[in-house]
Structure formats: C-alpha cells, structure tokens
Structure 1
C-alpha cells in the first residue's frame, strides 16, 4: 500500500528520534500564512487575546506587558509595583515600578524578592536563578534585571541565540538535530537545534554562542569561533498569563564531516545528522520540533535555497518570517 508524504515524514522522524506528538504553534502559524484568510483569522484572534494585557512601564518606556489577572497578584506589593487605571493618558491602564526605586541594582533586588514569593506560590514556575536584562530595545540602557522564568509574565523582550550546525557531504547538506531530554521543564522530548540558548545579562551574543556550543554539543572554541551571524527572527506567543516576545539571533556553523557532538550539560538525549530536505519535511508535516526552532530553520531554508520563489506562497511565508519586531 502506498504511503502518504505526511506519514513518510512522520516515520522518518519517529525512526530517528522516537519523538512524541506535540503542538507546534509557530510552525503552524507560518505555514498558515500561505492561506491569507487563515492568516488574517490568526491575527484577529491574537489581537483579541492581546487586549487582556496592559503595558509595563519604566521611565516612560514600554518594557513589557502584563495580564490583568496576573497583575492582581502584584497589588499587595505596592512598595514595588504601582497599578494605574486608565485616566486618558498616554498608556491607558498600566503597571509601573514604584518611583522610589531609582537604580537598576535596587530594582533588581526588590523585584527579585517579589519573584521569589510568586515562585513559592507557584504563580511563576521553574525559577532558574538566571537574570535577563529589562530594556525597551536591544542595546538600550538596562532598567533592571529580571529572573528568566518571570520574563514572559511581565512580557519583556527576551533574546536568545540559535545555531544551525550543518555538514556538507557529496554536495548535500545535513543538519545536526538534537532531541531534548524528557526531564526538561519545557518542551521535553522535542527536537531542537544543535545549539541554542537564552541571552542572559552581561554576555555578548558571540561569546554566548561559543559558551552554548561547549555546554550543549561539546564543540571546542577552535571550531565554534567560526560560527557566522546571519540575522534574527522574532515571535510572540500568549499562553495564559504568559506573553513571550522573543528575538532569536541566528548563526550558521559549517562543521567538519567527522565531528560528532557530545552533550555536556545533560539537557540533550541524543543527536542525529539529518539531510536538510528531510528536516524541512519534518517541520512542514509534523509537530516534532520545539516551536521557535522551526522559525530559525525556515530562515535557514530560505537562505540556503531550499524554499524557492517558484513555490506557492513564497512571498507570503517570507514576509511572515521577516515581519516580526526585532528591536
């Protein structure tokens, strides 16, 4: 009996990784852009959900967005957070820090104490003791630093680095793909980049990619320092009280044919080297990849000629990929 293309792609992924079925919102969103009606419907629904959040303001700058019900848990900390009703002003209803908190260090300390309490109440799960900078745009002055797990609950811009590690053999390109361990708190067991990670406070993108290369794949600096920055993609995702606004700096690294990655931090279960065309089919026809990885790989597919202008919906997909807020 003939096997459909969809089931073939699923079989390829299952044979290589034995991954469970998961939801891949971003991949679905971008491929839905090929249908203009579906894309408009997604935008309308997203804007409706987005209206449940109001701005988080520091020094007259919008640095994030907070869900109205999550903000209710912050009102008892009125020595730290101030909620302002819509009085017809510039921002409408909004959350801000107490004006007595003047310095970045002081803000980091007192907000951190609140986050610790919220974590103990399970309102912010998965505290990681890793700080993200709170800023209006990348490279702008830092207002304070916030626990990474709390970032989406305050809707701040978060930044990360993702690297496509690829190999060329006999004129064909292959991507090294990792499978996340089942004990990862987020997206356990899903497919992932060879190397990826958040961008914490106080480290540059280039140095961070070298650090992540060593930790996640055992790539020595002599190889990882050849990683090439190739751009950035961004996305937004709302899930309950969480509002992710992430910008991912993309890197490509051409690896030696005989290199085999070895995870060092216990967060990757296995690696497999897969033809790029197979990876593209897995992204298009299954939901096995960690969602934001799909965006970075789609960007790779455009840049390396795997998605061509002759394909239906080429410009719609490209516009969707490039229309995010990379600031």
Structure 2
C-alpha cells in the first residue's frame, strides 16, 4: 500500500456517473444519473435541463424554500439519511457569495461542495521530532464509526467563520480551551471528489496546525470521540501509508502535514510530486 492509495480512495468518483445541477446561471452541484427522475418529480424545486437538471426557481429565497421542501420530502421517504438540522452554504468557492443554503445531510445528495476545518494537534519532542494527537471516532457514530481522525475536524456551518468554527470544534470535540485553540495556524487546503452511497462530496478542507503543550491532554467532550492517542509521527506515517484505518479525508490532511514538516522527503519517496498534486484534485 502507499500514500497514493489513500489519495485514490479519497478521489474515487467517476464523474461520468454524474450530471451537473445548475442554478442562478452556474453549476452548483453534481447529481447522480440514477437520481434525475427522482428529483424531477419535485417539479416545484427542480426541472430537467438538457442532459442535466436545474433549480426550478431563479430567485434565491424562493429557490431555497422550494429545495428545502423537496429535500425534507426526500428525507422522509428515506432517500437522505442522518438529517442534521445544520445549514451549509451553496457557493462556487468559499470566498464567493452565498447563493442559498441547504441542509447539511443533503449536500452529497446534490453534489454541492462543502467546506470544513481539520486541525492536527502536535507536540514537539526534545529531539526535534513530533508526536501527534490522534482521535478515534466514537464506535456508535453514524458515519465512519471507530475510524481514526485528526485531532479535531468538523464541517463548516453557513453562519460561522473558519477560525470561529475551529475554536468551537476544539472545545466540543477535544476540550481545548478557546485561548489555546486560537493559536492554531491556517496552513492551506486539501480538496477531493469522493463518491459514497449518499452521493458526491466535491469538497475542500481548510487545514490548521496547533502546537500543544507537553502537559496538555485532549479530552473527549461531546461523545463524538471514543479516545485520543498520542503517537509518534513515524507511527502515524506507517498507519496512513499501510492501512485504511483513517477516515478517507483525514488521511490526506495528515499526508499534507507530513510533507510540510519534511517527514516525507522527495529523494526517499518516488511518488512525491504525484502525492503533492493529488492532495488538491478536487
């Protein structure tokens, strides 16, 4: 196995299986071909447009209301699971204008790009190396139970800024105080196109690093984490490279950390250039 295997697992979508979802004069998502007729039945919200599908309303508030109604009906019929009651932005890019908002659980169903924050907490060893705080997801979590995560991660709600959301997630997931969480440094993004039964995730994650004190131990605060483990970076590298224990996108966040910290060297890793480009395929 290799780092490229982790990147391929994250970028597993065959885009021939999807058609564009259009609205407001632009493409806003990707819908699986086998769901076109299902969406078209909700003609107050969606309409067929050539080989693809589009929003039936062009005015944002009316479009949002109609889509909300259709998505609620689809969820009641069992087509959308794990309803969150959390709003996600629909936008062409993170800094672009919000076109509308939708229920978080429906974002993959419509192939709408989502954003999130992923934070890698590390401790600097006296010899110059790193230990990483790794989270094991709760075993009763509805998504990816028991898999390994970055120290803190969370989706990006419509109403919060990135740093604000990160501080919130740090407190909720790992009991990291706000003053300490605010020291996290933004270090870039990863992006991918991941197909899963719910639909398509053409997502972009904002990555942060946080150097944690030697005497600080994260604590599972909200029940989403089973336990935290402090592991040498060398051991985490082996887990990422040789197993699929990490949640698909968390593996890419860690590969990015390894590269930035010089833990994967271009002379020692023949796939170095392909790994670097693969972190931003989305």
**TM exceeding 0.5:** yes
Superposed CA deviations along residues 90-120 of structure 1, whole A, max 9, x for unmatched, are xxx2211113x513x3332221121111111
Alpha-carbon shift at residue 29 of structure 1 (Å):
4.6
Secondary structure of residue in 1 paired with 2:139: coil
Number of residue pairs aligned between Structure 1 and Structure 2 = 280
Q: Could you say what the CA RMSD is over the residues aligned between the two structures, in angstroms?
A: 2.1
Q: 2:111 corresponds to which residue?
A: 155
1:320 correspondence with 2:274 = no
Secondary structure of residue in 1 paired with 2:39: coil
Aligned residues of 1:214 and 1:221 also touching (Cα < 8 A): yes
Q: 1:306 corresponds to which residue?
A: 263
1:137 correspondence with 2:93 = yes
Q: 2:158 corresponds to which residue?
A: 201
Aligned residues of 2:134 and 2:149 also touching (Cα < 8 A): yes
Superposed CA deviations along residues 157-210 of structure 1, whole A, max 9, x for unmatched, are 100000000011222210000111111111000011110000010211111110
Secondary structure of residue in 2 paired with 1:126: coil
Q: 1:98 aligns with which of 34, 37, 56?
A: 56
Once residues 271 and 189 of structure 2 are traced to their aligned partners in structure 1, the CA distance between those partners, rounded to angstroms, is: 21
Q: 1:123 aligns with which of 46, 68, 79?
A: 79
Superposed CA deviations along residues 267-305 of structure 1, whole A, max 9, x for unmatched, are 101001000110000001111111100000000000001
TM-score after normalising by structure 1: 0.81
1:75 correspondence with 2:52 = no
Secondary structure of residue in 2 paired with 1:142: coil
Unaligned runs of 5+ in 1: 1-5, 7-23, 33-41, 86-92
Once residues 129 and 27 of structure 1 are traced to their aligned partners in structure 2, the CA distance between those partners, rounded to angstroms, is: 35
Q: 2:30 aligns with which of 65, 68, 80?
A: 65
Secondary structure of residue in 1 paired with 2:244: coil
Aligned residues of 1:31 and 1:317 also touching (Cα < 8 A): no
Once residues 221 and 53 of structure 2 are traced to their aligned partners in structure 1, the CA distance between those partners, rounded to angstroms, is: 41
Instruction: State which structure, 1 or 2, has the greater radius of gyration over its C-alpha atoms.
Output: 1
Secondary structure of residue in 1 paired with 2:279: helix
Aligned residues of 2:6 and 2:251 also touching (Cα < 8 A): no
Q: 2:122 corresponds to which residue?
A: 166
Unaligned runs of 5+ in 2: none
Aligned residues of 2:121 and 2:132 also touching (Cα < 8 A): yes
TM-score after normalising by structure 2: 0.94
Superposed CA deviations along residues 225-274 of structure 1, whole A, max 9, x for unmatched, are 10000000001112346111110000000000000111221110100100
